[in-house]
A and B are shown apart, each in its own frame.
Chain A
Amino acid sequence: MKFLSILLLFGTSMTMAAPSPPDIHLPVPELETLPNGLQVVWFVNHKLPIVDLALFVKSGAVDDLSGKSGTSELLVNLLDRGAGGMNAQQLARAVESLGASRYAATDEETISVGMHGLAPDAPALLELLAKMVMKPDFPEAETRRAHGRLLQQWSHLADYGETLAGLAFRRIIANGTRYARGTFLSGKEFKQVTREDVMAFHKAHFAPGNAVLMIVGRVDPAEFKKQVLAHFGSWQPSPRSQTRNPDKFAKDPRLVIGSQLAVIDRPELNQAHVKIGFRAPKIDSPDHYSLVVANALLGEYFNSRLNSLIRDKMGLTYSIGSSFAYNKELATFSITSTTRNESVGQLIRKVLDVLRDFKKGPITQEEVATAKEYRIGGFPLTTSTLESVATQWLSAYVFGLGPKRLNEFIPKIAAVTRDDVSSAVNRHFDLDHLVITVAGDAREIEKSLASLGNTGGMGLKARSRLPRLKVKRIPIRDLM
């Protein structure tokens, strides 16, 4: 290990022996399928007296009907507002009196409903979970109130520059797919969502064959299985259960975007939130692990290329990082940062220089070795609790990546070579289809962009050899 540090310090290009990857054995869940089709996943561990019970439905906001964005969001906000003969207050008291907590959430692909509490309360929490999932009442008065609250919460998102930059980025980069709606497209469209829409969504998608029940923590499996059967065994498959048709998404992921920069005006902020990115290969791409290594050395750790230059050397930001984000049919890469208004142009130019150099190469052997060591060495930390293993297992399950996915991580990363990384970056870092969003005080930001020169209004073209960026200002109201 010491030898490696010395090499890094002096930046030589010697080839070195890779350290042997750690031998990690992750907990493997017990799986079973009930006669009604519900899959039950058991991650049993007795270390702490706590339990997590969660039901995942394999449908989400992309399944909201056209013109009805926000249906699944409203649904998850209503599951604990009356179910199985209990009203909202009775449900809340029943859970909270155990010191437990509950949640219901939707993203684009899935809906999750769960309970977290002390192990002896697991039977009571399971019963409440079953009521919320299988027997929600969607009372009219509660639906009206939840609808109003969601509209209010949605409108308040405009108070935050970070949210505005993220929202605009998502809308532009996912344009042409239903992911562009997110879980909530606009207040205007949400006003069209009715109680009947919610009930229809529940009927269509909440069915045992479209769900997974996860039991994580301290339970006696033999005893608890009886409880699972008692509460979920009678759940009848819905005749209208739906599975998603992947063909409805754009076949060509680059069909609808070109390089562009959008400024979202949030007056009087003295700091701007910046996002820069492009569409990326999906999670099942053969280049996936090479891109995981590439991303690490580009923008994940303190000594990454982006942080070393933009924060550590230039002091332009407090925080800069890069990441890939995955949906089933769409993947994106993005760099996120903040900087004072007057240095927005400088930060964007420097980031684009880093990206251009990264694509052009060379990426050194040492960089790749360090990034691999970072990902392999960090793996035990990201799987250090049962809950984190269960979450990652579920994520692989949702993406249909097979039960061995988690245990493949270390050998797959270990096998990545410098050539793999270079060619994956060259193939997939699509600098001709960049999306840049900046949220902050538009007047100040545009001054900073203009001060960089007159090449394409951005001063980017000369050095970065990038196409002209189409610059536009997006009013907040167009996002909300």
Chain B
Amino acid sequence: MDLKKGFAVSFLLLPFIFTGAACKQSISGLGIQLELERKTLSNGLSVIMVEDHTVPIISYQTWYRAGSVDEHPGITGVSHLFEHLMFKGTPKYGPKRFFQELETKGAQVNAFTTRDYTVYYETIVPSLLEKVIDMESDRMANLELNEEILNSERMVVLEERRLRAENSPEGKIQEALWQLSYRRHPYQWPVIGYSQDLLSISLEQVKEFFKTHYQPANATIVIVGDFKTEAAYPLIKKYYERIPSKGKVKRKIQEEPEQQEERRLTLRDHVLSERFAQAYHITAATNDDSYALDVLANILFEGTSSRAYRRLVEEKELAIAVTGSAYTPTYPGLFIIAGVMKEAVQSGEAEAALDELIREIQDPNSVISDQEIRVAVRQLTVQLVDSVRSPHGLGQLIGTVQTIFGDPQRFASDLAKYFRVTAPDVKRVAQKYLIPNNRSVVILAPGSERKK
């Protein structure tokens, strides 16, 4: 028992320690030790390197500050389209070579796109490192784009859209929810884009997007794993430094005006029971309210002992599942709550139960116990430790904070901020953000969308 207490105290006071010069820092805490080295090439490319020789694996990640937030109506989905086009080849390495050179030698090669950034990643054995650097730098500078490539990939992306958005109950709800929540800000459209835009987007528009966003000053390379910094960095300089700089892209994003009234939408599909999702406007990752919002989300929704699970699933037996989380990206995001109702139960009943729960948190006289806060912070700590289990996970964590905050060590100081969250902080953010006029609600009800 004493051991556990001592451990908890050390967690609370000092999750991570930083030592070292500005470009090379040791980070230790939570029983984890890592050395992180950060460099910037003359063309503005950021490079972050973390050696970890536990297993003979390297995660190589290229983060472009280009996401759906950088699109506009007419070219929605173009940032995600690049996730496909980037594998179509250059004059030096033609179509399929990325897979021939890397994947067929056992490497894992893939990419993902978010609202704020696009990431290309390879998990490789060390002998492939120079080849990856060569090929990634080559496609950053010399990607080949033509009508034939564009047309074949738009068909594939439309299939992906059918899979993820149009034929998935969750996908349908999420797309409608973001569209309902934002009226000006580009977070309103789906990352995969709208079908009509995917069909009409032109080669010139695609080329322009590439020219603007796929360049060194707008990118970060993250390497984690079994390599030597003194050997890898000269290779990065050799292959990337010759790519000309165009300067970091300045984003011009329309701000979302404050929402003044609740918005609601009902969709229909051949589902067994009603599903619903609520979205409250909250803040961005850079605002310290985001830590209290994460703790609030954990208190309400994490695990079967959470307040919402107990109330909606176990006590009232209204829903078969309820989830919630605070999504705080680069620009102000959403606190999203979603649920699947039991057969024949109306989602309105779950919404009423949720409103009651939120009011209980907001009530100035109610109690949020220190124990609840400690549990939530501990859950967030385990999530962080889990995420750094593999070189890929650690690289993703570093890449995220570097791309959003420009600070690769931010995840460590983030954890310290969670430890400082208090019950009044949680109450305050619930009072500030979780109010009906600030939310949008989408319901997916059993039925047909077809006109009779």
Contact = CB atoms under 8 A, between A and B. Distances in A.
A96 B379 contact: yes
Contacts of A308: 96
A309 to B, nearest CB: 13
B343 A374 contact: no
A281 B176 CA distance: 46
Interface stretch (B158-166, B179-187, B202-210, B279-287): B158-166
A302 B159 contact: no
B57 A374 contact: no
Contacts of A99: 375, 377-382
Interface stretch (A151-159, A168-176, A224-232): A151-159
Interface stretch (B18-26, B100-108, B256-264, B408-416): B100-108
B100 A5 contact: yes
Interface in B338-391: 340, 342-343, 371, 374-375, 377-382, 385-386, 388-391
Interface in A42-66: 47-50
B450 A268 contact: yes
Given A99-B381, A315-B156, A303 B167 contact: no
B13 interface: no
Interface stretch (B238-246, B300-308, B399-407): B300-308
Contacts of B382: 50, 99-101, 116-118
A384 B320 contact: no
A375 interface: yes
A452 interface: no
B106 A96 contact: no
A189 interface: no
A251 interface: no
Nearest to B153: A315
B41 interface: no
Contact of A318 (B156, B166, B272, B381): B156
Interface string A89-103: 100110111111100
From A149, A152, A218, residue with most partner B Cβ within 10 Å: A152
Interface in A260-307: 266-271, 301-303
A379 interface: yes
Contacts of B320: 149, 152-153, 156
Contacts of A402: none
Nearest to A149: B320
Interface string B225-250: 00000000000000000000000000
B169 A159 contact: yes
Given A48-B32, A99-B381, A317 B343 contact: no
A408 to B, nearest CB: 18
A270 B304 contact: no
B335 to A, nearest CB: 21
A315 B253 CA distance: 34
B108 A378 contact: yes
B163 A271 contact: yes
B272 A93 contact: no
A148 B313 CA distance: 11
A1 interface: yes
B103 A1 contact: no
B389 A156 contact: no
Contact of B125 (A22, A98, A120, A387): A22
Contact of B101 (A5, A124, A160): A5
B211 interface: no
B155 interface: yes
Contact of A47 (B54, B104, B123, B153): B54
A312 B87 CA distance: 11
A159 B96 contact: no
A340 to B, nearest CB: 6
A70 interface: no
Contact of B342 (A121, A152, A267): A152
Given A48-B389, A155-B343, A374-B105, A380 B271 contact: no
A417 B394 CA distance: 39
Contacts of A96: 302-306, 375, 379
Nearest to A476: B270
A268 to B, nearest CB: 6
Nearest to A90: B305
B125 A377 contact: yes
Nearest to A379: B106
Contacts of B375: 96-97, 99
Contacts of B303: 92, 95-96, 101
B452 interface: no
A440 to B, nearest CB: 8
Contacts of A302: 87, 96, 99, 103, 109
Interface in B288-317: 302-306, 310, 313-314, 317
Contact of B159 (A121, A153, A339): A339
A120 B7 contact: yes
B270 A268 contact: yes
B310 A271 contact: no
B269 interface: yes
A271 B155 CA distance: 13
Contacts of B386: 50, 116
Nearest to A343: B159
A340 B270 CA distance: 18
Contacts of B104: 301, 303, 370-371, 373-374, 377
A158 B270 CA distance: 9
A338 B32 contact: no
A461 interface: no
A271 B270 contact: no
B17 interface: no
Contacts of A155: 272, 343
Nearest to A120: B7
Contacts of B379: 96, 99
A271 B56 contact: no
B251 interface: no
Contact of B106 (A92, A266, A373): A373
A153 B273 CA distance: 11
Given A119-B31, A152-B343, A340-B159, A97 B371 contact: yes
B342 to A, nearest CB: 5
A311 interface: yes
B305 A93 contact: yes
Most chain A Cβ neighbours within 10 Å, of B270, B313, B449 = B270
Given A340-B162, A385-B390, A374 B56 contact: no
Given A47-B54, A149-B320, A338-B159, A374 B106 contact: yes
Contacts of A339: 159
Q: Which 8 A-B pairs have the closest CB atoms?
A: A377-B106, A99-B378, A49-B31, A378-B106, A315-B155, A271-B162, A318-B160, A318-B159
Interface of B: 3-4, 7, 30-32, 54-57, 87, 96-97, 99-101, 103-109, 123, 125, 152-153, 155-157, 159-160, 162-163, 166-169, 269-273, 302-306, 310, 313-314, 317, 320, 340, 342-343, 371, 374-375, 377-382, 385-386, 388-391, 448-450
30 contacts: A5-B101, A9-B100, A48-B31, A48-B385, A48-B389, A96-B304, A96-B305, A97-B371, A99-B379, A118-B382, A118-B385, A120-B7, A121-B4, A124-B4, A149-B313, A158-B272, A160-B169, A266-B270, A268-B449, A312-B152, A315-B156, A318-B157, A338-B162, A374-B106, A375-B106, A377-B105, A379-B106, A380-B125, A381-B107, A385-B389
Given A318-B163, A381-B57, A385-B390, 19 more contacts: A8-B100, A49-B385, A97-B378, A118-B378, A118-B381, A120-B3, A145-B317, A155-B343, A156-B340, A158-B272, A160-B169, A302-B99, A303-B103, A318-B162, A338-B159, A339-B159, A374-B104, A374-B106, A377-B104
